[in-house]
Structure 1
Amino acid sequence: MSAVSLAPRALYEEVAELVRERIYKGQLEPGSWIDEVKLAQEYGISRTPLREALKVLAAEGLVTMKVRRGAYVTQVSERDLAEVYHLLSVLESDAASDVARAATAAEVAELKTLHAQLEASVKNHVKFFALNERFHMRILEIADNRWRNQLVADLRKVMKLNRHHSLLKSGRVEEALAEHRGIVEAIEKRNPAAAAKRTQAHFASGLEAAHGG
């Protein structure tokens, strides 16, 4: 039987990733108009794959398409943030509860290691943000509900439009680390209710910081 030839990644997907990273890095600011002609020239592509890429980003909530006005980087309102944090709190607290109930000893040890790495990276913001997301996503992976994971991944893309600002607020990193520590402790003690409650508290604190509280 001959080997199956896999199609290369579609061009529009590669372009979507490039634009997504520019949005996350603040090179394309929330509320700003996306100059399709300029971007297409910069990437050396036609407008077609760029438009397809923007449709992908619009489906993720990162881009807003306006009739006869083009594409804009989504500007997240306070209501948007509250709704995203609420859903993340519900979904991730449910996952933390599942992990406390069913994780293996090796998986608990992995979460403890991830948290230790997070504690050690507080002076490196890029690394800290990456490890912070990895910690949250690893809990979801261990809980092993692919539909929940997909919902959270999409919601987190929208949250990234604001999350760096909230984590950089004075004292918020230390608070987040203490909250993570509490979640890990509850998981290690096999206490599903405490793991869920501490995860909910973590998101409540994160939303308060995001709103400037």
Structure 2
Amino acid sequence: MIWQESPSNSHPVRGTSLHDEVAARLRSMVFERQLAPGEWIDEKALAAGWQISRTPLREALKVLAAEGLMELVPQRGCRVVELSDDDAEQLFPVMALLEGRCAFEATRNATPADRASLRHWHDQLELHAAAQDRDGYYRANHEFHTLVQRLARNRWLDRATADLRQFLRLMRGRQLNLPGRIDASINEHRVLIDAMLSGDAARAERTMHDHLMAQLAALKAVRQQERAIAPHNDPHVSAPLTKGNADAG
């Protein structure tokens, strides 16, 4: 599939560091699935729509390729990375360890203001869960986890977690497509917020770790459902983990 320019992305790009601004816009488009996994980048259309030359665009694509979000293919161009089943199986346990440690250190270091911020984002999760709003839940969940990461106040942990979190974002909460997953997820978050607000760092770490592993289990269940449906359409087609029926997370 070749990416086509949309009206919302057709305004000019301006800035003192042009390729950094272009990279930021491309990164946002990937995470918002305006550029879907596996899509080829139409450099000519992007450059024309943003009113820039192809030089800063190509530099920006190299930046995203270095980050692992894009793949440069000789003689073909550049496309958005797709994560495989094996990628997910390997990534989630690592993120479970990292995010578990984030929860431990955030709980131990949290100030009253920090705990109020955690409560705020948990309340947002409750609202979206009650409405079964997958997109809203996905976005609030991302904010909550990012906040826990920041409140850990460990720059090395922050660096490692942030680097890998962007690959989870490629899946865009696809596990929430599993029936009942939002209800299960909010129950996991209730245990987590209770542990964090009560200052039980060890329980917060265990709960966060198990929450990430539950996400992997749900993702695998979604994948199994898709495999069961796929033969009715094309027995030779098997969608990668990054593709789903819904864009919400």
Structure-2-length-normalised TM-score: 0.76
- CA shift, 1:90, in A, is 1.0
Matched with 1:161 is: 170
Of the candidates 168, 174, 197, which is equivalent to residue 206 of structure 2? 197
The 3-state SS of whatever aligns with 2:221 is coil
| 1:168 Cα offset (Å) | 2.9
Residue 144 of structure 1: SS of its match in structure 2?
coil
Matched, 1:11 2:18: yes
| Counterpart contact for 2:134–2:182, Cα < 8 Å | no
- The superposition leaves residues 118-142 of structure 1 with CA deviations (integer Å, 9 ceiling, x where unpaired) of 2112344443222211111111111
Structure 1 stretches of 4+ moved >3 Å: 122-127
Q: Which runs of 5+ in 1 are unaligned?
A: 1-7
Q: How much has 1:57 moved relative to structure 2?
A: 1.4
Letter in 1 for 2:156: W
Q: Please, which of 206, 209, 213 is the counterpart of residue 215 of structure 2?
A: 206
1:65 to 72, 81, 86: 72
Quote the Cα distance in structure 1 between the aligned partners of 2:169 and 2:48: 27
1:9 CA drift (Å)? 4.7
Match of 1:50 in 2: 57
Cα deviation 1:105-130 (Å, max 9, x = unaligned): 33223212210122112344443222
Match of 1:34 in 2: 41
**CA deviation profile, 1:173-197 (whole Å, cap 9, x unmatched):** 1111111111111122222221111
Per-residue CA deviations over 1:30-57 (Å, capped at 9, x if unaligned) read: 1122121222122211111111111121
Q: Is the 8 A contact 1:61 1:157 kept in 2?
A: no
Q: What's the secondary structure of 2:75's corresponding residue? A: coil
Letter in 1 for 2:54: R
What SS does structure 1 have at the residue aligned with 2:40? coil
Count, aligned residues:
206
Give percent identity, aligned residues only. 37
Amino acid at match of 2:137: F
Distance 1:119 1:51, change over 3 A: same
Give, in whole Å, the separation in 2 of the partners of 1:48 and 1:36: 10
How far 1:72 moved relative to its partner?
1.1
- Normalised to the residue count of structure 1, the TM-score between the two structures is 0.88
Looking at structure 1, the residues matched to 173 and 160 of structure 2 have their Cα atoms a distance apart, in angstroms, of: 21
Structure 2 unmatched runs, 5+: 1-14, 223-249
Q: 199-208 or 32-41: which moved more?
A: 32-41
Conserved in 1, the CA contact under 8 Å of 2:106 and 2:153? Answer: no
Contact 2:100–2:205, Cα closer than 8 Å, also in 1: yes
Q: Deviations over 1:63-100 (max 9, x none)?
A: 11122322111010112122221221111101111122
